[in-house]
Structure 1
């Protein structure tokens, strides 16, 4: 075996897919099922609209192209939708801020168009009246995340070990040599940590630090509706919430339809550890903000709610690549709410790092050792 990947979410699946395409033999280990963590609780958003100019946006643009390629290679398997995004502003001050934000993005290659207050309703007829305008982002898209992870794993041909928690990382003379679970030992010269919100604990097993923390989010799911919402529609304050460092509850209206009919309503963010308690305040805010964007939703039934945990790193950039502190250990984690969108580019970067190939994007901003020592969750290693 050439590489063991810890994590069967969409990031781990993308790492397996691109590593396999690079000629490596791959095993994937997860303590649960495919897409059993953050991926299964995601909406499947592939966004460039919410990212300012910088390294994450470059990664998102690369991933947008790779997702298009994957949709062509795996037709219908990932439920790829080129629905586009629409960001709306309640007033002229907010609209100007969106205009400045879009201008910075445009220089990096993002396509967007300002939409006047009247033209908004050509794009979304059921939007609330009185909005100042917005921006349309045709590059925004969506996949079905659990299905995408499953199909990428299938296409990779990886050896799967599901329902097996990694209890130790093996080393010899300071180098990673594999992983141990309660059921087996897997030997490989490379191990990829794609464990999502638990990536800090995996780093600790290797005797190093990675300050990944869970950031909880809730989603409301309505009864099935006719196709009345055409894009991913969100309020301008969503962009600020994504970039915020606050641990407190934050919410901003994000509304989108699905092919099967239900409307998905987000998005909240808060750092409360792995507390799964239902937050009535979070749900109340989501419902009110969704109805503020689309008033007809006030009379629509919510059928269920679900929540998950985004893997948060303090500088809002993922950790991708080799960890120089532990030879043989690679990280592909910390994407927060963008992991589904950034998964293919992450997988391609990991495959390049594993094989010594030219990376498809500058890897330096995502180096795993950029954080001060001692900021992770602890240490501990199993040695042969």
Structure 2
């Protein structure tokens, strides 16, 4: 095998977060090797709906990250044009009764102080936005900053924009990290050999904790399973991303039990995507008819016309969950040369550009675009007998 020229950094994980890290590092003039045991978007990214949301986030560090990413996605959409299928369709959060509407009103008021645009919609005007929505809802809020991309296309094109500076190495599993005499990063060991670089970025998604374990550090990333129902192609029955108010509480919950809330959105290609479910069951990929029943019931309660529509398929994915619902982004002070960009749970696609910008800034010595202290990778106390969560594989799949 010919000798591989060293890169400035190695990104482990070819999902959208890893692709964004490679994209912004390449823009900064660095050469990047992207390693994944599978394909581009072969894991969490490929199982995502492509949501770019601010509507579901409480004021705080994650919302700041989302607002920055929202502007960066708009820039990327202009650069990549229709190739990422960017759609600025907006979100619509609806409440069934006045109590729910009051909670939405308070939530939106807090968000608006943080820079989010939220527009109250009375119940009798909801059908102006969504003609097929159920009758009798108390009202809702429209979020024009919410958007959507096709996640697999987005990851692929973010990698391609780096040109010769980005070198994908797919089908290679990372099985170890190379370190120097003082414990500093020197590269990675894969099933195909060694790759050398002074920096390694952990963008391994749900397996981010396992990769951290290879470096001897604790990062408690756990899988949080979710299913999506996909209908037959339809005329544009659903114009926005529409979800019930309890979705926000489910996103913020740390419960391991099954939670479902109605989330419905159309796509440019025609099928309607129906979610959302959350449960921590490890990496169990078995089909759950109970989850699918709940998803269908929630969707038809919001859009009764969907009761007569065929569901063509379903798929599942694993969100990379961290206990405080914030990703780990930035240098790991415990291992010189190791950086993390994982643990975004269900928001990785939306938060990818800001994450990539932060990683690039840390690598080049520039000031990050926002305060990254809340995302410190070493903020979690190590267990008494540390074990790396997940399998020893290192890839976002």
Please give the range of the TM-score, normalised by the shorter of the 2 chains: over 0.9
**Is the counterpart of residue 166 in structure 1 residue 174 in structure 2?**
yes
**Is the counterpart of residue 197 in structure 1 residue 227 in structure 2?**
no
- TM-score by length of structure 2 reads 0.95
* Secondary structure of the corresponding residue to residue 81 of structure 1: coil
In the alignment, which of 100, 110, 118 is matched to residue 124 of structure 2? Answer: 118
* Secondary structure of the corresponding residue to residue 118 of structure 1: helix
Q: Distance in 1 between matches of 2:43 and 2:82?
A: 23
- TM-score by length of structure 1 reads 0.98
Counterpart in the other structure of 1:22: 28
In the alignment, which of 130, 136, 140 is matched to residue 134 of structure 1? Answer: 140
Counterpart in the other structure of 2:114: 108
How far the C-alpha of 1:373 sits from its partner, in A, is 1.6
Encode CA deviations 1:30-78: one digit per residue, 9 max, x unaligned: 0000000000000000000000100000000000000000011111111
Contact 1:49-1:85 within 8 A present in 2 as well: yes
Counterpart in the other structure of 1:223: 232
Encode CA deviations 1:310-355: one digit per residue, 9 max, x unaligned: 0000000000000000000000000000000000000000001111
Counterpart in the other structure of 1:283: 292
Q: Map residues 1-384 of structure 1 onto 2, 5 A cutoff.
A: 1-157=7-163, 158-173=166-181, 174-374=183-383, 377-378=387-388
Contact 1:15-1:347 within 8 A present in 2 as well: yes
Q: Distance in 1 between matches of 2:117 and 2:253?
A: 24
* Secondary structure of the corresponding residue to residue 179 of structure 2: strand
How far the C-alpha of 1:215 sits from its partner, in A, is 0.1
Runs ≥4 in structure 1, deviation > 2 angstroms? 374-379
Q: Distance in 1 between matches of 2:103 and 2:387?
A: 38
How far the C-alpha of 1:250 sits from its partner, in A, is 0.2
Encode CA deviations 1:116-146: one digit per residue, 9 max, x unaligned: 0011010001000000000000000000000
Encode CA deviations 1:135-178: one digit per residue, 9 max, x unaligned: 00000000000000000001123101001100100000210100
* Secondary structure of the corresponding residue to residue 74 of structure 2: helix
Q: Distance in 2 between matches of 1:378 and 1:268?
A: 26
Q: Distance in 2 between matches of 1:101 and 1:22?
A: 38
* Secondary structure of the corresponding residue to residue 227 of structure 2: strand
Over the residues paired in the alignment, what is the CA RMSD in angstroms? 1.3
* Secondary structure of the corresponding residue to residue 84 of structure 2: coil
